[in-house]
Amino acid sequence: MKQIVFATHNLNKLAEIQPLIPGGLEVISLDQIGCVEAIAETATTLEGNAQIKASYIWKYFRCDCFADDTGLEVQALQGAPGVYSARFAGPEGLAEANMAKLLTLMKGETSRRAQFRTVIALILSGNSYLFEGVVAGKILEEPIGDHGFGYDPVFQPDGSELSFAQMTLEEKNKMSHRARAIAKLCAFLENIGAN
């Protein structure tokens, strides 16, 4: 079975994408290739950060790989937290603190439109490709639900009465930003495999 590295230490992300990957392709994590470093995400865009992580793995491990970066983009906050979503409330990257800061900034705000955006950078045999997935929705007044991770409890996607954190993994994967980006990645990989 062909292996491809997903440049993440985040087991939640790994579990979320595993069911979406086509048969014949095994996704392995950074830990499984012996990469224990926290790759610095120093870019000012999601695209840049995804590219940094994928390029690092290609440079030092010479593995076909992909990396993602995801941001929550809130209209009333001019697109913030965006590329800084994971460390919005500080370098510790604590989800509860990030949500608390977001809800404080949104207090009394009537326009609650937001979107999650994921960008995936793929490197195959040294060639780079980018894929994007977006899901629109709104920021809730308070966290609801126990599933998911990150901002899932405060984000309700369009077309649903549930927050991402109220959904099962299967329900979330039918509409999430990451699932949409992964679907484009998989379609590309399947097309490459067919040629």
Active-site positions read: 69
Give the count of beta carbons closer than 10 Å to the beta carbon of residue 8: 19
Write down how long the chain is.
Answer: 195
Residues 99, 88: contact at Cβ < 8 Å?
no
Q: In terms of DSSP bridges, do strands 2-6 and 25-28 run parallel, antiparallel, or are they unpaired?
A: parallel
Q: Which residues contact 140 (CB under 8 A, 6 or more apart)?
A: 112, 153, 154, 155, 156, 163
Residue with tokens 């009333």: 76
